[in-house]
Structure 1
């Protein structure tokens, strides 16, 4: 599928090319002159054509964050790259290029229309994230194997598919295979597919399709289970108790414990370890269950806080709207009355003008009062929330640290028992009272008292370090959570909202006063 190109030097998408393209495709005449003078913000561009530019490499697209439509057809592009930042892209044309591999599309999750027509692609792949894909044109490529099309079964929203011009289109069963394995397609190679053809195709491949469906369902169940486990684990992490629902923490203490694993071969240690592991794991389970309960409480408190904040804002806004609407009704009636005054209406008009301005002032005071009331209400709500969350976090840490302290106590008791067993074992080895089948690793520790005592102490220190590290990790993470949450609460643009609201009130009052000042009382004859 070779193509002839102009003997122009291959180019890379650079800022100069982008600036020129945006200016050419932007507003025309006076609007275009103003836009050029003010400077065009690439971040505001939603559509861009870069066709017939002899582009070899896609680059410098990072500013076009709002781009939804991009044409890169009729270039000499060899790789799909440099598009990760275009997360809002819905339409992409890469037809008539030299692309051999589908890649670089993972971040384009909003893509609905993709054109790869007339390239050198031999395999359909690397498109898993394009779940909203509706139109795919990949004709005139190098697709030879019909089985390759089964990859497209995952795109249930894809209704229009163009494959025309690929080598497998010459196969006798091409169309039947496509309709059988891709029943969601409504348009194939620019032609509407009828239901009768789909049904006939399905019957021909029914056995193999049902086998594939069985495999797909099994794979989906496995994926669902994996996703459920990952979601559950994420919840455990947010509760700071991941891997505490079982013997994970206990096992981790021995994972890198070289000396402890050697000492486990001492007579009586295996039974001791069974009891220790069970007791230690029970405490970890208590931490785990308590952590999940406390996590739910924190989530509930946070949800209630934001609900209260939003309800307060909505209620306050509604009260202001009632005041404003009442004033608007009053203003309409007043203006109508003023316009109907006769020749003797000057003194009455002046009285009504004064009355109007008084009511405007009253409205301003009411709206400002509501805003001040809201600010005070929000501040009090935030303070209550911070106190509640601080109490929750403090209570959580107090209980967790008490339980972890029990883990330490168990380790200390285990250490004392291990030390007793080690001394007894050493004496028996020195007296040749133990069988010769004890491991060489253990026999090396039983050369003298200092050696075996140091081994027991090293194992104990490692275990305590693991326990301490897990406690520090929980404390650090939940304190960081508290710090971030409070920061987010105070960075929720409340100050900006307040300033904007005050500005809106002042603008409204100014507008209402201007209206009475500029009122054209054509019905009055002074």
Structure 2
């Protein structure tokens, strides 16, 4: 169903179209004239209509980042695209277009009302991100499957749904099916679903709905487990020991080790590998447990540091507040005296004394700030020492454990080479192990150099894996320490500058208030 009107050419959304539409729909009269003269910032536009414009492609909307309502109905749009930046969109109308697939909505997490009425859509999909969806219009499309109703069950806030005009709505039990699958729905095809209908539908389709609920519970349990695993992995990553709580690291050494996997077919290697795996996994587990405990110590150190900083700042501010209260009392006294004392000479003398008091106040506040800077500097230096000590401890322990894995690999390599040469000698004498695949024997056991090279290649891969994992952990702990130290210094510098600006602004305010005083005319 084409929506080309006469001989009008399809259009795209460009800046001129946007500017014109915004001006047409913006303020009118004098406000509109001013807005047009000064120019309208696209970031200020909250609502926009682009209907009946023969638009073929959605484009160039990225500047409208604060848009909450967008009307693109009655065009010839074929693809849902170009909406990624409209993260604040609440209301979207794409009805009466030529859209076949629901897509491009992943960033529209605030969308509450979506109209896709009268398009060519055959499947309800790709809407998972729309957790806030309340109103969905999909009438007059090509929906045929009940699976869409099951999919819509995940939208817990959905209250209004339109499906009329789809093949699915021709089912004689259509209304009952929708009511049974979506018990929280209030309006279907612009009519309220009464409670009686919902009760009858629930009873009629109880068995199938129970099956759906069971599947949903199983899926929810699965998702929760996956989420828990993800949270655990993130916790392990911040401790720099991810994938060390098990045999993951050992297995990773053989992921790209083609020669090692072939050599594993030699007699006695399988048992040797199992011993290697067991010991390596124990060492990795030790690294993991140490890393988790060390991370807790790091977090505790940061917490203590922040508490000490805040305590020092609070104490200093309390002293400053006490001094500020005194000058404010003098300020109030001066303002009262200006109203009551008529002798200019006395008032001038009092103002001069007040200015002296303000200057002394500034000096006292600056002195307090200098004292605080010195106090915080000591706290920060101690924190830096502790952070550096923690990093050194982490490095030493990790290096010790990785050295054990490296020694284990060297021992394994020596034994593997002995077995490989012995196996080559047996093959040379015509003794063939029937469990060894022919392709392994043909590829590896040609001559001594080939066997030695294969064992060496496997060994090199393992050592590289060990070195890289060690370097990764050491790099992360060093980055943690340096970033934390740098942040502490930067935050304190910014705090000090802000405090000095606050003191200057406050003193200037006091002086300006006195300068603005109107003294009585001399008699």
User: Which category describes the TM-score, using the shorter chain as reference length?
Assistant: 0.7 to 0.9
| Whole-angstrom CA distance in 2 between matches of 1:361 and 1:25 | 57
Partner of 1:112: 112
Deviations 1:192-223 (A, max 9, x none): 44444433321222111111000100011111
1:443-462 correspondence runs (5 A): 445-446=444-445, 448-462=447-461
1:325-340 equivalent positions in 2, closer than 5 A: 327-328=327-328, 330-340=330-340
Q: Distance in 1 between matches of 2:362 and 2:497?
A: 15
Is 1:467 the counterpart of 2:456 in the alignment? no
Determine whether 1:296 maps to 2:287. no
Question: Which stretch of the first structure deviates more once superposed, 250-259 or 24-33?
Answer: 24-33
| Contact 1:263-1:442 within 8 A present in 2 as well | no
Question: How far has the Cα of 1:471 moved from its partner?
Answer: 1.7
Among 377, 393, 403, the residue aligned to 2:401: 403
Measure how far apart 1:2 and its partner are: 6.0
Report deviation, 1:108.
1.2
- Change over 3 Å in CA distance of 1:301–1:108 after alignment to 2: farther
Which has the larger displacement, 244-253 or 376-385?
A: 376-385
C-alpha contact 1:179 1:198 (8 A) present in aligned 2 = yes
Q: Where in structure 2 are the equivalents of 1:306-317 lying within 5 Å?
A: 306=306
Q: Does 2:128 correspond to 1:128?
A: yes
Q: Which moved more, 1:138-147 or 1:100-109?
A: 138-147
Range with bigger deviation, 268-277 or 475-484? 475-484
The residue number in structure 2 matching 1:256 is 256
Give structure 2 stretches of 5+ with no counterpart. none
Q: Matched residues in 1 for 2:244 and 2:467: separation?
A: 14
SS at the partner of 2:290?
A: helix
Indicate if the aligned counterparts of 1:140 and 1:164 stay in contact, CA closer than 8 A. Answer: yes
Q: Is the alpha carbon distance of 1:399 and 1:39 closer, same or farther for their aligned partners in structure 2, counting shifts above 3 Å?
A: farther
1:136, 1:28 → 2: CA distance?
A: 33
Distance 1:2 1:420, change over 3 A: closer
Determine if contact 2:245/2:284 at 8 Å carries over to the other structure: yes
1:373, 1:162 → 2: CA distance?
69
> Which segment is superposed worse, 468-477 or 275-284?
468-477
- Structure 1 residues 207, 309: CA separation in 2 closer, same or farther (over 3 Å shift)? farther
| 2:266–2:419 Cα contact (<8 Å) kept | yes
What is the TM-score when the length of structure 1 is the normalising length? 0.86
Aligned to 2:517: 519
Q: Residues 416-495 of structure 1: matches in 2 within 5 Å?
A: 416-432=414-430, 438-440=436-438, 441-442=440-441, 445-446=444-445, 448-486=447-485
- Tell me the C-alpha RMSD between the 2 structures: 3.4
| SS of 2:153 mapped into structure 1 | helix
**SS of equivalent to 1:56:** strand
Partner deviation per Cα, 1:385-435 (whole Å, 9 max, x = no partner): 433333222221211111111111111122222333334334444444666
2:391 to 382, 393, 414: 393
Match of 1:206? 206
Q: Is the 8 A contact 1:64 1:86 kept in 2?
A: yes
SS in 2 for 1:70: strand
Matches within 5 A, 1:7-156: 7-27=7-27, 35-36=35-36, 38-156=38-156
CA distance in 2, matches of 1:153, 1:336: 71
- Can you list the C-alpha shifts for 1:211-250, whole angstroms capped at 9, x where unaligned? 1000100011111111211222222233222222222222
Find the counterpart in structure 2 of residue 353 from structure 1.
351
1:126 Cα deviation from its structure 2 partner:
0.6
Find the counterpart in structure 1 of residue 272 from structure 2: 272
Tell me how far apart the structure 2 counterparts of residues 288 and 398 of structure 1 sit (CA, whole Å): 15
CA distance in 2, matches of 1:288, 1:468: 17
TM-score normalized with structure 2 length: 0.86
SS in 1 for 2:506: helix
CA contact under 8 A between 1:265 and 1:442: conserved in structure 2? no
Runs of at least 5 residues in structure 1 that lack an aligned partner in the other structure: none
